[in-house]
């Protein structure tokens, strides 16, 4: 009986798999525009956290050593630009996915 049920199941599965007709294409949650929006949201959140930590560390550095404020500010601005560039790369990739 077990062999009969297994064979019947496989024949039913084969009939469904090889049926004629246009396949129905449904977009899943993780393809196309959904991935673009999700990746951009994650990148923007990470960018905000990273920039906040960078500014906090720069403020602490200037508070501890006011004479080094120029060097700290320059380094902070370069770091913020590099952090923001990562989000722009994700934005470009999101437009490419769409």
Assigned domain for 4 exists: no
The reported pLDDT for the residue numbered 24 is 61
The CATH number of whichever domain residue 80 belongs to comes to 1.20.20.10
Show pLDDT as tens, one digit a residue, over the chain (98 residues).
777 778 777 667 666 666 656 566 666 666 667 778 888 889 999 999 999 999 999 999 999 999 999 999 999 999 999 999 989 998 888 888 76
d(CA 79, CA 87): 13
pTM more than 0.85: no
Q: 47 lies in which domain range? A: 29-97
Say if CB 86 and CB 43 are below 8 A apart: yes
Assigned domain for 6 exists: no
Q: Spell out the alpha helix ranges (H) of 1-98.
A: 2-17, 33-64, 69-97
């Amino acid at each position: 009986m077990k062999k009969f049920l297994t064979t019947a199941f496989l024949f039913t599965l084969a009939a469904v798999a090889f049926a004629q007709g246009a396949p129905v294409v449904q977009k899943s949650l993780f393809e196309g525009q959904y991935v673009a929006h999700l990746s951009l949201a994650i990148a923007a959140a990470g960018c905000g956290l990273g920039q906040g930590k960078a500014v906090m560390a720069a403020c602490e550095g200037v508070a501890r050593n006011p004479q080094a404020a120029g060097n700290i500010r320059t380094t902070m601005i370069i770091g913020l630009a590099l952090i923001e560039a990562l989000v722009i790369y994700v934005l470009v990739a999101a437009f490419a996915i769409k």
